[in-house]
Amino acid sequence: GAGVSQSPSNKVTEKGKDVELRCDPISGHTALYWYRQSLGQGLEFLIYFQGNSAPDKSGLPSDRFSAERTGGSVSTLTIQRTQQEDSAVYLCASSLFSDSNQPQHFGDGTRLSIL
Amino acid sequence: ILNVEQSPQSLHVQEGDSTNFTCSFPSSNFYALHWYRWETAKSPEALFVMTLNGDEKKKGRISATLNTKEGYSYLYIKGSQPEDSATYLCALFGAGSYQLTFGKGTKLSVIP
């Protein structure tokens, strides 16, 4: 496909379970970002990958959150021991490279609900 | 932590009306300003990327201006149409950073 692909589109799980969210960026895009939008809040930066460089994890809210990007392409965001406050829409975006002039291309997001 | 403010939080306009909203940011830490449109059940879509003081960008009936010295950007929609209904997000790319800091958005509803 031409756009950023995220899966699953919706995820409902019980508190304490682990979840994995997947992002497939646009082919050739070297920069990949994860954001989340909690109810009533703006989009919040979580983590950023640029090529093979070490990721910028400064936005991850706790050590229960981790992400990896394999082969410079697909990324997985993992949340361990989920809590109700983790309920949010998780968005992935990619850009050609990490430059301020580059627009970011977003996926449709994963709506995560923790019961 | 950068603070990006958008106003108003929401507004309703009649079809055919023109409207505008504001994005404010700390001028001392500016690198680039992005505008995105986020329609319900879709993904955010880039509208404009602006970097220079006095920049003006236009895409159809939508335009934006940028004032980096005073730290604000305006988004204008001329002759609003129902398909313009969406949340409009602005985001700051700050100096020394590789991430966007988003405002909470302005939710526009255009009434036919």
- What tens digit of pLDDT does each residue of A70-109 get? 887 999 999 999 999 999 999 999 999 878 889 999 999 9
Chain A interface disruption, residue of B98, B102, B106, most A CBs within 10 A: B98
pLDDT (average), residues A33-54:
91
Cross-chain residue pair A103–B44, CB shorter than 8 Å: no
Q: Is the pLDDT of residue B21 over 80?
A: yes
pLDDT at A1: 52
Closest Cβ–Cβ partner in B36, B98, B105 for A50:
B98
* Contact of B91 with B25, CB cutoff 8 Å: no
* Among the listed residues A88, A102, A93, A70, the one whose alpha carbon sits nearest the alpha carbon of residue A11: A88
How do beta strands A110-114 and A31-37 pair? Answer: unpaired
- E strands of B1-112, at which residues? 5-7, 10-14, 19-24, 30-38, 45-50, 56-59, 62-67, 72-77, 86-94, 100-102, 106-111
- Could you tell me what percent of chain A has a pLDDT over 90? 78
Across chain A, mean pLDDT equals: 93
pLDDT at B1: 66
pLDDT at A40: 85
The rounded distance, in Å, linking the Cα atoms of B87 and B74 is 15
pLDDT at B29: 74
pLDDT tens string B26-72: 887 788 999 999 999 899 999 999 998 999 999 999 999 999 999 99
Closest Cβ–Cβ partner in B49, B89, B98 for A48:
B98
Is B71 an interface residue toward A (CB < 8 Å)?
no
- E strands of chain A, at which residues? 5-7, 10-13, 19-24, 31-37, 44-50, 65-69, 75-79, 88-95, 105-106, 110-114
The rounded distance, in Å, linking the Cα atoms of A7 and A21 is 6
pLDDT (average), residues B8-15:
96
pLDDT tens string B70-109: 999 999 999 999 999 999 999 998 777 778 999 999 999 9
pLDDT at B26: 87
Q: Is the pLDDT of residue A64 over 90?
A: yes
Shortest Cα–Cα distance, A45 to chain B (Å): 7
- Residue B31: strand pairing partners: none
pLDDT-derived band at B2, boundaries 50, 70, 90: confident
Closest Cβ–Cβ partner in B4, B49, B89 for A101:
B49
Could you identify the residue written with the tokens 């989009």? Answer: A43
Cross-chain residue pair A98–B98, CB shorter than 8 Å: yes
Size of interface A-B (CB pairs under 8 A): 57
pLDDT at B56: 96
User: CA-CA distances (angstroms) from residue B3 to A11, A12, B17?
Assistant: 31, 32, 30
pLDDT (average), residues A12-24:
97
